[in-house]
Amino acid sequence: MYLHGGAYVLGPVAAQWRWAAALGEAASTAVVVIGYRMAPDHPHPAALDDAVAAVVALQDDGTLAAGRWALAGDSAGGGLALAVLQRAHLTP
């Protein structure tokens, strides 16, 4: 699972899509890019709420098996990934 950077106002951009695709190919696994609401139209904590909801939903439906998934992000997405884990008390 990948959370894009972009200062919470833009993205994902083409380079981020290419990176996610290359990561999935190299790891022989699926990569989910989470599209979260962005500022200024959707101020904090909209992005965090969306990312937590996506992780919880994918865990609940069995898409993310316990101990068999990873959460990553670049730049703002990296900070968002840490906040998701803190908020939801999740263990990837």
Long-range contacts for 81-86 (Cβ within 8 Å, ≥24 apart)? 81/3, 81/51, 83/48, 83/51, 84/3, 84/48, 84/51, 84/52, 84/55
pLDDT for the residue numbered 92: 56
Query: Has residue 25 got a pLDDT over 80?
Result: yes
pLDDT for the residue numbered 1: 94
In the structure encoding, which two tokens stand for residue 12, read together? 């994902």
pLDDT digit string (tens) for 32-91? 999 999 999 999 999 999 999 999 999 999 999 888 899 999 999 999 999 999 997 765
22 CB neighbour count, 10 Å cutoff: 11
Tally of structural domains, the chain? 1
Which range marks the domain in which residue 40 is found?
Answer: 2-66+76-88
Residue 71 lies in a domain: no
12 CB neighbour count, 10 Å cutoff: 19
Residue 8 lies in a domain: yes
Residue 36 lies in a domain: yes
DSSP state of 38: -
pLDDT for the residue numbered 90: 64
